[in-house]
A and B are shown apart, each in its own frame.
Chain A
Amino acid sequence: MSTPHEGRDEHADPHLQHHFESMAQQYDSGKFGMWLFLVTEVLLFGGLFCAYAVYRANHPEIFAYAHQFLDKTLGGLNTLVLIVSSLTMAMAVRCAQLGQQRRLKQMLAATLLCACVFLAVKGVEYQHKWKHGLLWGTRYVAQGETAAPADAAGVVTTPEPAAAVPVPADGGTTLPHAATGPAGLAGDHPQDGHGAAAHGGHGSAGPAPRNVQLFFGIYFVMTGLHGIHVLAGMIAIGWLLRRASAGEFGPQYFAPVDFVGLYWHLVDLIWIFLFPLLYLIH
């Protein structure tokens, strides 16, 4: 193959692809591509933030009521775990840049461990929600007084399916029972339960508003998509760990560590916003 570009300044670096002239150009291209990819991630979550904002602005009572069922201590713990993992990831990038092979592996392993802890805590939270019917859409079970969030023994006694929604009993356009639409219209809805006032010191959110399932729908989509990103990040870090074990990274070639790092920090960044929006509603 005749190559017109002769001025390659790095002589035969095995990582330099044929169409680049230097490692710096290759690194810059990859990094720029990674940033553009992060942009798409920001927008992907941006859509969910938009859904959140629209419902929160129009139905604040749902959020004020429903957030009490989230455990903000666990959420806070997860925030701290992710911040630690971000630190270890940033350290890993540094180690790769300086060619510190052993510490690079340690840092990557620590990041992976933090990610596992994060998902485990998330799993505990999900399990709790599942047990109490704090779920989305038709699966939401109205919360009685016994189902206060901190009350682990609180078994929901009346698992009345809050919505057997599509009941085309008379042919199509019946208004389903729980389908009371956007709140704020005609407030004569039978109260499904009372606010879980047992929580914290400020839990006097009063009776349950309608459409609480919306909050849990948004909660599960946002945290679920974030969880999938954590999972993807874990796969990427595992891949890095394997390559680091083979000693592939060093001052001349650390781009993969750097790029996965950027991704991991973005996942952390998104959680930094999710945490107050979902858990810390006042």
Chain B
Amino acid sequence: MAKLTKKTKIEMLKKLIEIRRFEERTIQLYQNAKIWGYLHPYIGQEAVAVGACMAIERQDYIISTHRGHGHCIAKGADLRRMMAELLGKATGYCKGRGGSMHIADTELRMLGANGIVGGGIPISVGAGFGCKMEGKGNVTICFFGDGAANNGVFHESVNMSAIFKLPVIYICENNMYAISMCSTDSIACKDVGKRSCAYDIPGYIIDGSNPIEVYKTVTKAVKHARDGKGPSLIEAKTYRFFGHHPNDPATYRKKEEVEYYRKEKDPVANFKNKLLEEKIINEKEVKEIESEVAKKIEDAVTFAEESPEPELEKFLEEVKQI
């Protein structure tokens, strides 16, 4: 866990910008048909992944979702290998077999995005057992959305983690929409965080657009877990600025609502302005970060574009074993 120093805050801003620009670039590539299949941009939710991942160590695990690029980047994934995977190249994280929804890296202790909504939640129970049995005080963060919170696996998994006091931090990113279903229409008790009382574990409902608030809350939950006291449930209220995927016009949302979140709750702009106001950073330094990030992303795109396609014969040879 990094201390909340000026340097940490600048690191946070860098990560926020990195995720935002990476996602903007992937949308472009999607529109140019360089990326196909499904793409679920994390834009609008960056503060959750960044705040949470800064509150843990490299040896801690995270489990991600179908909207997982932000979690990967926040945990320190290699942008080149990510971009190569999105372009379906042999040099990608999954050798072109997985695409956007299946990036994983055990070295990085990132146990995988997931194409099944809620699919990662039960896996967190096992990662929790692994951390507990290993006895080194490691924890697992399990990210999931408001949609997944309504899947039955949520109950089985959180209940089991609570019974065995597993070191798991459940972070529900309530971005208000499961494709078109609004969470106010899908969650009976309105706040997922309130469900913590059903499992007798700490519960938090926080502003997911504020990386400091996320960071501080996750830090508490991580301490609780490392102390052997078991899981916590954090509901981070957030918003996805785009539709479910780039081609979704999101007509199920009111224009005023989208405008409100984009204007008032933009995690990247708000945090940048906050650091400028607090004189932690100046405009020139922000520009430097932007240009550094842009360079990194273009390098990743170039790497991905220049990388070879997977060889069909090699693939067929590899899958013979399955």
Q: Do A and B come from one complex?
A: no
Chain A residues close to B by CB (< 8 Å):
none
Chain B residues close to A by CB (< 8 Å):
none
